[in-house]
Structure 1
């Protein structure tokens, strides 16, 4: 399945030079993770992340891309989870949590399909 990782233009050179999207997010004893979305539109992200203009399309095995809604239960306190989601609807602040996925490993360039800068409307990779 095609998923999308969003980053900002300042971090793109580091991602490209490492030739992988490194897992950097961790919460409540979870493994380090990479966040993905099945939605190519950044408006589905949490409002704090919508300014990330670099979109990297990736293909990861279905069994490695965990639904954020399911994955987050043991790692986030109920009140924190509740603050990030509004069940059964998309809201203007938190985007669409049903489209969020977690991968618990780096995503190497071999798994990338393309990268593009949405603000400059240009292909960055390949």
Structure 2
């Protein structure tokens, strides 16, 4: 499944050096996850993440990519549903949660397809395939 992970420009050198996108987000008893979207546009992201300019395209097995809404419904407390599960048509602060996915493991460089700086329109890295 082709998905996109967005990160800050300052974090990109560390991601490249490690050779993987580390899972860093969790709530309560949820596993740590890498957050992704199937939309290459930053507008699909929650408003507070839309300034992230490095877009890493990944190709992960469908079975590893969990759609956000059912996944979050299992792990998020009800008081967080409005802020993290409602689309921007309902909650002006959110993006498009129907486009979001999580992966519960690191995403290795051999699963990356390309990396772009979307603000500059520049390619930062391309897979040797």
Query: In which range does the TM-score fall when normalised by the shorter chain?
Result: over 0.9
Q: 1:44 to 1:88 in 2, by over 3 A?
A: closer
Relative to 1, partners in 2 of residues 1:87 and 1:40: Cα closer, same or farther, differing over 3 Å? closer
How many residue pairs get matched? 126
Find the counterpart in structure 1 of residue 55 from structure 2. Answer: 55
Residue of structure 2 in register with 1:25 after alignment: 25
Give 3-state SS (helix, strand or coil) of 1:123's partner.
strand
Matches within 5 A, 1:83-102: 83-86=83-86, 89=89, 92-102=92-102
User: Root-mean-square deviation (CA), in Å?
Assistant: 1.5
Q: Does structure 2 conserve the Cα–Cα contact (< 8 Å) formed by 1:90 and 1:96? A: no
Matches within 5 A, 1:93-112: 93-112=93-112
Tell me the residue number matched to 2:42. Answer: 42
Paired with 2:93 and 2:41, the residues of 1 have a C-alpha distance of 15
Gapped runs of 5+ residues in structure 2? Answer: none
For 2:50 and 2:91, the matched residues in 1 are separated by 14
Q: Which one has a larger percent helix, Structure 1 or Structure 2?
A: 2
The whole-number CA distance in structure 2 between the counterparts of 1:8 and 1:87 is: 23
In structure 1, what is the Cα distance between the partners aligned to 2:59 and 2:35?
13
TM-score by length of 2: 0.92
Residue 74 of structure 1: how far off its partner (Å): 2.2
- TM-score, reference length from structure 1: 0.94
Aligned-partner Cα distance in 2 for 1:105–1:19? 13
User: Offset of 1:41 from its aligned partner?
Assistant: 0.2
